[in-house]
Amino acid sequence: MIISILSTCFMVAESKDLQDLLQTGNQYYLDGKYEMAAQSYKSIIDSGYASAELYYNLGNAYYKSHDITMALVNYERARILKPNDPEINHNLDIAREFVVDRIEVLPEFFLRRAYVGFVKIFDADIWALVSVITFGLALGLFLAYFFLNQLFFRKVSFWTGVLFIVIAASTFLFALQQNNLVTKHHQAIILTPSVTIKSSPDEDSGTDLFLLHEGTKVTISDELGDWREVVLSDGNSGWLKETDLIGL
């Protein structure tokens, strides 16, 4: 595993203290002081600044510190922000080998899988930028339609404008959906070594359904007090305490 050097995390913040903290974390990592490196990276995130690269670095530091669960958490967080990054996916696959539970994934309808994969090609900002640009071009073409004299060019400008409006609306929708994939995924990782999943949010009356182990990824579908209903990738579901989870 190699450490990724950040280049864009602080373009907006321009905080020298945080840049120094990043450089300190990188040096700790290179010196083999992985727990101290993790503390440095985590301090940056706790300050409100994060990126896929920063989560990736933190995941590497946790992995080298033999904290596989927190490595998984941060690789997953990095993957949410950059789903197609080969280094993130490679290290995530390596960390997943340590997870006890082997859960089958229900097959997803191929059209939905293809659509989600297409939306993930770019992040929300890129899709939004494309939407703004194509909408501006559409307005310019519609203006040209009113001022041009030749019928052929009027038709070309009108229908090209309609095409750009469709593209603008579509890419705006892609931006919204990509943003939802990042911010409203409701995914979590099992944090405790093992936990019994209950049929209902009750310690005494709920029936024991199955056992999950540390590092297993779940989706939170409902909540009641300090209980959370989780769904596995194979479709099984049940309840456990919020303290047994860490959100992504």
For the chain, the domains span: 16-96, 114-183, 187-247
Where does 187-247 sit in CATH, by number? 2.30.30.40
Residue 98 Cα distances to 18, 58, 61, 91, angstroms: 33, 18, 16, 12
The sign of the dihedral angle between the CA atoms of 170, 172, 174, 176 is negative
Q: Which residues are paired to 187 by β-bridges?
A: 219
Quote the CA–CA distance of 67 and 34 in Å, as a whole number.
Answer: 10
Under 8 Å between Cβ of 233 and 106: yes
Please choose, from the candidates 178, 42, 63, 182, the residue with its C-alpha nearest in 3D space to the C-alpha of residue 122. 178
Beta-sheet strand order (sheet of 217-224) = 208-213, 194-198, 237-241, 227-231, 217-224, 187-190, 245-247
Neighbours of 82 (CB within 10 A): 18
What residues have CB less than 8 Å from 124, skipping those under 6 apart? 175, 176, 178, 179, 182
Selection from 188, 213, 195, 215 nearest residue 66 by Cα: 215
Q: Which residues contact 86 (CB under 8 A, 6 or more apart)?
A: none
Find residue 229's DSSP bridge partners. Answer: 222, 239
Residue 209 is given by DSSP the state: E
Q: Give me the pLDDT at residue 102, please.
A: 86
What does each of the 248 residues of the chain score in pLDDT, given as a tens digit?
Answer: 545 545 444 444 446 677 888 889 999 999 999 999 999 999 999 888 888 999 999 999 999 999 999 999 999 999 988 888 899 999 999 999 999 988 877 676 778 888 888 888 888 889 999 999 999 999 999 999 988 888 888 999 999 999 999 999 999 999 998 888 777 778 999 999 999 999 999 888 879 999 999 999 999 999 999 999 999 988 899 999 999 999 88
CATH number of 16-96: 1.25.40.10
Q: Is the pTM of this model over 0.85?
A: no
Q: What pLDDT, on the 0 to 100 scale, is given for residue 246?
A: 92
The pLDDT value recorded for residue 7 is 46
Contact in structure between 182 and 50 (CB atoms under 8 Å): no
Say what the pLDDT of residue 106 is.
67
**187-247 and 16-96 share a CATH fold:** no
pLDDT of residue 13: 45
